[in-house]
Amino acid sequence: MIRVEALTRTYDGLTAVDRVSFEIGTGEIVGLLGHNGAGKTTIMKMLTGYLEPTGGSIEIDGLDITTEREAVQQRIGYLPENDPLYYEMTVIDYLDYAATLHGVPDAERTGRIREAIIQTELSSKATNTIGTLSRGFCQRVGVAQAILHNPRVLILDEPTNGLDPTQVQHMRDLIRAVAEHATVILSTHILQEVQAICSRVIIIHDGQKVLDSALDELLAGKRLQVTVDAGPERALELLNAINGIVSVEPMAQRGPGYRYALDLADKDDPAETAHIVASRIATEGWKLYALQPERRDLEQIFSEISAIERTQTT
């Protein structure tokens, strides 16, 4: 669906995006993450055809954006971070105008507008002037215009800005529904949103792609956590001797027993290693209180990436 090769953008000698490559398939919901100034918005603007790359190529739905820009843009729904709404228009008039810009046929326009209003729960505000709406409702209007024409690709920059918890949950459901027949790229500073709805994450740092991974694999990590009734004087020697365990780190106690983090070899299967650990503990006659893979979160991963970058620049 989306193929990006060596995408580059420079501004007067400053490289904002540096040879970024990735592919995204139909139905994927991909989180595009990075610190402020990392290059995320520049990438999204190039994907939507609003900014020309300095180098590299973009292919969407089999079309090269350089030679078939208009055809590509017809396949894209885009919600920029600062949605350019016309605040003097009513919601329904604005969506009618947006439908015209998207090239929605006259015979389909009323139905498409009605469907977008229902999907974004704007029925009670359809005749209101946009300038009278709250930040959350304005955000929903922006999403409504992005999905009016049933796009093949939906690109959302901070889609949950200004939404309350109930609206955030509805937005998640809407994005999942759109992904049943489209590809979704989501950029946000709210890492919980990425963990809640994305299947994959791409992290950009200083204009370069530093990580591209399925979210489940990324968050699983390569450590096991085990809690037993044996203290470090007994447990460390036995656990370190188990094949596949690289190191053992005692952890702060929570409840009964002693907790340890087990670092695994890169090629080892955590499930298989967990089975071996449980068997050894049973053989020793220790009480096993807990044994599970360590779950990381995106905040930890961001911290790890930042620490690596700091080390490389010092």
Compute the radius of gyration of the chain from its Cα atoms. Answer: 24
Residue by residue, pLDDT tens for the chain (314 residues) are 899 999 999 998 899 999 999 999 999 999 999 888 889 999 999 999 999 999 999 999 999 999 999 999 999 999 998 878 999 999 999 999 999 999 999 999 999 999 999 999 999 999 999 999 988 899 899 999 999 999 999 999 988 877 888 888 988 998 998 898 899 999 987 888 888 999 999 999 899 999 999 988 787 767 899 999 999 999 999 999 998 899 999 998 878 899 999 998 876 678 888 999 999 999 999 999 999 888 777 877 877 776 665 555 54
What is the second-level CATH architecture of the domain 2-218?
A: 3-Layer(aba) Sandwich (3.40)
The DSSP bridge partners found for residue 7 are 20
pTM exceeding the 0.75 threshold for the entire prediction:
yes
Gap between the Cα atoms of 7 and 52, Å rounded: 10
| All CATH 3.40.50.300 domain ranges in the chain, comma separated | 2-218
Identify the burial level of 269 via C-beta atoms within 10 angstroms of its C-beta, where 0-12 means exposed, 13-18 middle and 19 or more buried: exposed
Whether residue 126 contacts residue 91, with contact meaning beta carbons closer than 8 Å, is answered with yes
Please name which of 279, 249, 280, 244 lies closest in space to residue 264, comparing C-alpha atoms.
244
How many helices (DSSP H) and strands (DSSP E) are in the chain?
Answer: 11, 14
CATH of span 222-293: 3.30.70.100
Residues near 37 by beta carbon (within 8 Å), at least 6 away in sequence? none
| All CATH 3.30.70.100 domain ranges in the chain, comma separated | 222-293
